[in-house]
Amino acid sequence: MIMFKNALILQLILATTLFSSSFITDREYGERLFKDPRGIGCNKCHGENGSGKIISEYVSDSGKPVTIFAPSLKFFNWQKLKKGIKKHSYFVPKYFLTKEELISISRFLEDGK
């Protein structure tokens, strides 16, 4: 009987640790969304941690050097993300991210790493 009880406790401990490890924080969820937002990842243009990146540099037909830069999104809150995605729709693909998803992305962008 004692052995049975111990086995049960062990199982319970195992189950809770396994179960809890399947949870991710809001920031981790935001990082996943940033890299795979149901379309091309924001990181492909804005850099791995969202601190900005040059996407392309070329010389235009009229001989003018052109740089296409995806700016840093560090510390953007969800409203700024939403507005920016819409405003820059010439470059930024159309995503259908919910407010909650944008909040998670902003958690990832605001941790300074």
CA dist 36 → 7, 30, 80 (Å)? 41, 10, 19
Q: Which residues are registered as beta bridge partners of 57? A: 67
106 binds ligand HEC per the rule CB under 6 A? no
Tokens coding 12: 């319970």
Give the integer Cα–Cα distance in Å for 34 and 32: 5
Residue recorded with tokens 């040059």: 54
Residue recorded with tokens 């111990």: 6
Of 8-16, 17-25, 57-65, 90-98, the segment contacting ligand HEC by CB under 6 A is 90-98
Sign, Cα dihedral of 101, 104, 109, 113: negative
107 binds ligand HEC per the rule CB under 6 A? no
Per-residue x/- mask for ligand HEC, residues 43 to 82, rule CB under 6 A? Answer: -xxx--------x------------x-xx-x--x----x-
Query: Residues 36, 93, 100, 111: which binds ligand HEC (CB under 6 A)?
Result: 93
84 binds ligand HEC per the rule CB under 6 A? yes
Nearer to ligand HEC, 12 or 66 (CB): 66
35 binds ligand HEC per the rule CB under 6 A? no
